Structures are given as C-alpha cells and as structure tokens.
Copies of this chain bind each other. A is one copy, B any other.
C-alpha cells in the first residue's frame, strides 16, 4: 500500500472517498428519496396525524400513494400507526424518535429550496428582458 506512488495513491483514495460519499448519499436517497416520504414526515412533525389531514397537507398525493408511503415509513421505523378502538375508530400516525435524525437533512433541503426558488425567480425576470 505505502509503496505505490503518490499520484496513484491520491487518485485511489480520492476515488474511494467518492465511492463512500456516493454510496452513503445513495443509501439516504433510497430510504427517504422520492417525492413523498420527507413531505409526509414534515407534515406529521407539524401536527398532522390523521390520514386525511396528511392528504390535505401534502399537496397532490393520492390516497393510494399516501397509504403505501405510510406503510413503508412504518416498516422502516420512522413512524408508528396508532389505532384507537373507540367510537368512531380513530387512527393516528406519529413520528418515532428516529425521524428526528432527519432534522438536519430537512433543514438543509428547505434552506436550499428557498434560495433556489429565489434564483429561479431572478433568472426568469432577467430573461424576460431579452425575450419579451
């Protein structure tokens, strides 16, 4: 290992680093990627616990998709489904502590999303000058 020249070594380590970075990001996207999972978790963190509440809050999601996403989130340990067998039966979904580990990701994404929207807006208004 130590005997290979610096160029090779640096290149190899660089490439290894890259693979590690890629696979960890890939793992993250696999678990919480897609359009809906983070949105559902955000909505739930903000006090929406019922199926229909969630569907109203998460814009554009259908019942079928919400249903299957909730199932996956439950299987993966992000949320728990609580069934209250009163009358009428009430079903609520709640975040488990593990969801809190996503705070940094959600924060980074929302900050970036906000400033990205600004950028798009500026791009559009400057473009309008050249092509009215």
Q: What is the interface of chain A, defined by CB distance below 8 A to chain B? A: 14-15, 17-19, 21-29, 31-35, 38-39, 42-43, 46-48, 57-59, 77, 98, 101-102, 104-117, 119, 123
On whether A101 and B113 interact (CB within 8 A), knowing A14-B46, A18-B42, A39-B26, the answer reads no
**Cβ contacts under 8 Å, A39 to chain B:** 22, 25-26
**Cβ contacts under 8 Å, A105 to chain B:** 105, 108-109, 112
Q: How far is the CB of A7 from chain B (nearest CB, A)?
A: 12
A31, A43, A116, A123: which has the most chain B beta carbons within 10 Å?
A116
User: Of B29, B46, B58, B113, which contacts A27 at CB under 8 A?
Assistant: B113
Q: Is the CB of A117 within 8 A of B27?
A: yes
Q: Is the interface of A mostly helix, strand, loop or mixed?
A: helix
**A41→B67 CA distance, assembly (Å):** 33
Q: Is the CB of A112 within 8 A of B101?
A: yes
On whether A25 and B38 interact (CB within 8 A), knowing A101-B112, A104-B108, A105-B108, the answer reads yes
**A39→B33 CA distance, assembly (Å):** 13
